[in-house]
């Protein structure tokens, strides 16, 4: 009997990133080179776990991924599940993983898991983590407890929710965290153990509009207002501000937002890296009470980058009026 035929179907695609990188000429650094097949060759166990469908969808550094490419990746992944895949894995660069995972999570309609992983060390570096991350991603993808959790990020044997995960270190192996909540679970000796129950998921329809842009500005000490004032003039459809502390800007930025917020959706999130924005604590000019009175939305638990993804997708499907209900406290 063909034992392979009894194994679940698992679809794996690669987009590039350090997990696909190798060194070339001396001094030239590492670059994306390995397609998905080559990456999988270093993890022979995968073929004993599942029937694999393999695709190389890109060979990019993840800073160069974009929304249009992600919509194509999503269409591929949806097709795989519709054709019977138990789960889908994507490998990509870690630099933008916290954003791409959230983008895909907001549009992922299935119970079947979409698991994303990468590597902090290139394939040509000693101690590279790509193969171990791929194996853990497959264990997570095939685990029954992963169903209904949307897009999951698996790095360093931890399983993170797409809405919470952040890259918090530039080069360390343990580069991913879910500040405040911690990871959803871990892979322990090949077994996936969830520490947190699956939450209720909200999913958006595919955007009908994709040509619009959402700006992201960071509030910082003694910042002038020139860029802020230019946002409407430049045709941005929305604005996210990475605000001070619990979601604050200077009094001069607050004055500009008084004129801007009635004309386009504005979110102020926190630039601190952890914790929610406030809603009812601070009453100074530029504090959250003042900002909300001007029509600004507070980012809640979402980091500024994820706020921008959310706002872009909401505008894309004509749902910007629902923004408030998508910003978790
Ligand atoms: N820093 C790299 C990575 O970890 C590059 C990238 O994101 O493509 O994958």
All domains of the chain, ordered by start, with CATH?
Answer: 2-194 (3.40.50.1170), 214-326 (3.40.50.40)
pLDDT computed for residue 328 by the predictor: 82
Helix-helix angle 304-316:97-107, to 10 degrees? 30
Query: b/e per residue, 297-315, with b = 16+ CB within 10 A?
Result: bbbbbbbbbbbbbbbbbbb
Size of the chain in residues:
329
E strands, the chain, in order = 9-16, 21-23, 30-32, 51-60, 87-91, 114-117, 151-155, 158-161, 166-167, 176-177, 185-188, 191-194, 214-218, 238-243, 266-270, 297-298
3-class DSSP state of 56: strand
* CB-ligand 1 contact for 177 (6 Å cutoff): no
* CB-ligand 1 contact for 133 (6 Å cutoff): no
pLDDT computed for residue 1 by the predictor: 52
- H helical segments located in the chain: 36-41, 46-49, 67-82, 97-107, 130-142, 226-233, 251-260, 288-293, 304-316
pTM recorded for the entire structure: 0.97
* CB-ligand 1 contact for 62 (6 Å cutoff): yes
pLDDT computed for residue 2 by the predictor: 65
- Is the separation of the CB atoms in 32 and 20 below 8 Å? yes
pLDDT computed for residue 194 by the predictor: 98
The Cα–Cα gap between 182 and 190 comes to 20
Pocket test of ligand 1: the residue of 29, 34, 59, 61 to mutate, having most ligand atoms within 8 Å of its CB, is 61
pLDDT computed for residue 236 by the predictor: 98
pLDDT computed for residue 72 by the predictor: 98
The Cα–Cα gap between 146 and 185 comes to 10
- The pair of structure tokens assigned to 57 is 């969808």
| Cα 262 to middle of ligand 1, angstroms | 38
| Cα 23 to middle of ligand 1, angstroms | 14
pLDDT computed for residue 127 by the predictor: 95
DSSP 114: E
> In this structure, what are the phi and psi dihedrals at residue 132, rounded to the nearest 5 degrees?
-65, -40
- Is the separation of the CB atoms in 94 and 167 below 8 Å? yes
- The pair of structure tokens assigned to 95 is 């630099």
pLDDT computed for residue 196 by the predictor: 87
3-class DSSP state of 110: coil
- Is the separation of the CB atoms in 282 and 248 below 8 Å? yes
* CB-ligand 1 contact for 95 (6 Å cutoff): yes
* CB-ligand 1 contact for 185 (6 Å cutoff): no
Run means of pLDDT, 10 residues per run, the chain, 329 residues: 84 98 94 97 96 98 98 98 98 98 98 98 95 98 98 98 97 96 97 92 97 98 98 97 98 98 98 97 98 98 98 98 93
| Cα 63 to middle of ligand 1, angstroms | 8
């Amino acid at each position: 009997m063909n034992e392979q035929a009894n194994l679940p179907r698992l679809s794996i695609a690669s987009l590039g990133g350090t997990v696909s990188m190798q060194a070339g000429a001396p001094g030239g650094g590492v670059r994306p080179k390995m397609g998905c097949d080559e990456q999988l060759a270093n993890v022979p166990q995968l073929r004993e776990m599942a029937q694999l469908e393999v695709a190389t969808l890109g060979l990019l550094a993840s800073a160069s991924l974009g929304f249009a490419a992600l919509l194509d990746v999503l269409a591929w992944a949806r097709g795989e599940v519709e054709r019977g895949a138990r789960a889908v894995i994507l490998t990509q660069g870690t630099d933008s993983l916290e954003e791409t995972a959230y983008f895909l999570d907001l549009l992922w309609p299935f119970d079947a898991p979409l698991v994303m992983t990468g590597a902090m060390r290139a394939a040509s570096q000693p101690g590279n983590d790509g193969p171990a991350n791929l194996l853990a991603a497959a264990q997570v993808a095939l685990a029954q407890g992963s169903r209904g959790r949307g897009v999951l990020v698996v790095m360093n044997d931890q399983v993170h929710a797409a809405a919470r995960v952040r890259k918090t270190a530039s080069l360390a192996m343990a580069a991913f965290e879910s500040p405040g909540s911690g990871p959803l679970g871990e892979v322990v000796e090949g077994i996936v153990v969830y520490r947190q129950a699956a939450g209720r998921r909200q999913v958006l329809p595919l955007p009908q509009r994709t040509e619009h842009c959402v700006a992201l500005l960071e509030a910082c000490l003694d910042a002038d207002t020139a860029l802020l004032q230019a946002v409407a003039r430049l045709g941005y459809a929305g604005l996210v501000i990475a605000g001070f502390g619990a979601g604050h800007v200077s009094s001069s930025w607050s004055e500009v937002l008084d004129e801007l917020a009635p004309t386009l959706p504005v979110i102020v999130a926190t630039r601190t890296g952890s914790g929610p924005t406030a809603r009812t604590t601070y009453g100074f000019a530029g504090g959250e009470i003042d900002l909300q009175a001007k029509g600004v939305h507070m980012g809640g638990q979402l980091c500024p980058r994820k706020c921008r993804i959310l706002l872009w997708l909401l505008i894309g499907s004509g749902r910007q009026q629902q923004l408030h209900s998508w910003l978790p406290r």
